[in-house]
C-alpha cells in the first residue's frame, strides 16, 4: 500500500492525535478545513498556531521544533494533573486516551497499534531509534525520505552496527 503523507494531510488528520482532539482548538480546525486554493491564508492560519515571535523563523534541522500552542497548553494541563497526583490510580485515567490515540494514528499510517510509539517530538523518536534499540544484522528501519540523515549515519549510532536503513 502506497501512503502519501504531506504536511496538509497531517494537519487534516490532526484530530487523530489525542492531544489535538482533546484541545478542541477552533483555529486548528480552521487549518484542517482550509483548501489548497486558500494559499497564503492557509499558511497564515498555520503560523498563528505558534507562540514564537513574528520576527522568528524556526528552521528545523533535526532539532526541536515549536509545538502548536493548543497542544502545548493541553500537554501542560495534563502534566499538572499527573504532577498533582503521581499515583498509579490517577495515571490510569489516561490509559484509554493512549489506547484510542494509538488506534487512530495506526489506522492513519497503516500500522498495528502496538507498532506505534508516541513520543514528544521527532528528535526524541530519532534518538530512541538510533541509540535506544539494539539492532542486529538483518533488522530493517524505514525512515522518511526527507528525514535528516545524520542520526542514522552518526558514528556510534546503533544503526551503524547492523541495522539496514530503507527510505519509505
DSSP string, 115-155: G----S-HHHHHHHHHHHS---TT-EEEE-TTS-SHHHHST
Stated as kind and residue range, the H or E segment containing 160 is: none
Beta partners for 165?
141
Per-residue pLDDT, 33: 67
Q: Greatest CA span in the chain, whole angstroms?
A: 49
Per-residue pLDDT, 62: 57
Per-residue pLDDT, 83: 96
Q: What's the rounded Cα separation, in Å, for the pair 148 and 126?
A: 10
Long-range contacts of 149-155 (CB under 8 A, 24+ apart): 150/62, 151/62, 151/126, 151/127, 154/130
User: 126 — alpha (psi -120 to 50), left (phi > 0) or beta?
Assistant: alpha
Per-residue pLDDT, 39: 73
Per-residue pLDDT, 46: 84
Per-residue pLDDT, 133: 77
Beta partners for 152?
none
**pLDDT block averages, 10 residues each, the chain of length 168:** 51 45 56 65 85 82 75 92 95 93 94 88 77 75 64 55 50
Amino acid at each position: 500500500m502506497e501512503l502519501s503523507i504531506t504536511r496538509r494531510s497531517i494537519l487534516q488528520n490532526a484530530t487523530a492525535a489525542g492531544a489535538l482532539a482533546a484541545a478542541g482548538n477552533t483555529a486548528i480546525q480552521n487549518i484542517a478545513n482550509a483548501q489548497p486554493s486558500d494559499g497564503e491564508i492557509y499558511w497564515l492560519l498555520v503560523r498563528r498556531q505558534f507562540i514564537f515571535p513574528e520576527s522568528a523563523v524556526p528552521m528545523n534541522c533535526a532539532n526541536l521544533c515549536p509545538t502548536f500552542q493548543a497542544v502545548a497548553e493541553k500537554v501542560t494541563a495534563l502534566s499538572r494533573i499527573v504532577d498533582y497526583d503521581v499515583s498509579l490510580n490517577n495515571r490510569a485515567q489516561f490509559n484509554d486516551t493512549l489506547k484510542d490515540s494509538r488506534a487512530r494514528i495506526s489506522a492513519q499510517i497503516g500500522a498495528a497499534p502496538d507498532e506505534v510509539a508516541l513520543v514528544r517530538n521527532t528528535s526524541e523518536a530519532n534518538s530512541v531509534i538510533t541509540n535506544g534499540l539494539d539492532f542486529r544484522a538483518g533488522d530493517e528501519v524505514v525512515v522518511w525520505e526527507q528525514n535528516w540523515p545524520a542520526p542514522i549515519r552518526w558514528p556510534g549510532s546503533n544503526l551503524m552496527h547492523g541495522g539496514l536503513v530503507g527510505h519509505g
